Copies of this chain bind each other. A is one copy, B any other.
Amino acid sequence: MPARTPLDANAILAATEEILRRHGPDKATVVDVARALGVSHAAVYKHFPSKQALREAVTRRWLDRNRDALAVIAADSAVPPAQRLRTWLHAVLAVKQAKIREDPELFAAYGILAAAHSSVATDHVADLLGQLTAIIADGAADGSLRTDDAEATARVVFNATAKFNHLAHAAEWQNPGIGAELDEVCGLLLEGLHAPTSP
Contact = CB atoms under 8 A, between A and B. Distances in A.
Interface of A: 152-153, 155-157, 159-163, 166, 168-169, 181, 184-185, 187-195, 198-199
Nearest to A147: B188
B155 A184 contact: yes
Given A161-B160, A168-B168, A169-B162, A188 B184 contact: no
Contacts of A187: 156
A163 B155 CA distance: 12
Contact of A159 (B166, B181, B195): B181
Contact of A160 (B189, B198, B199): B189
- The SS class assigned to the A binding surface is helix
- How many copies the complex holds: the figure is 2
A156 to B, nearest CB: 5
A194 B159 CA distance: 20
Nearest to A156: B184
A181 B187 CA distance: 20
A45 to B, nearest CB: 32
B192 A188 contact: yes
A171 to B, nearest CB: 9
A182 to B, nearest CB: 8
**Interface centre among A169, A192, A193, A194, by most B CB within 10 Å?**
A192
Contacts of A189: 160, 188-189, 192
B160 A185 contact: yes
A170 to B, nearest CB: 9
Which 9 A/B pairs are nearest by Cβ-Cβ distance?
Answer: A168-B168, A192-B192, A191-B192, A162-B163, A160-B160, A188-B192, A195-B195, A156-B184, A191-B195
A136 to B, nearest CB: 12
Contacts of A153: 188
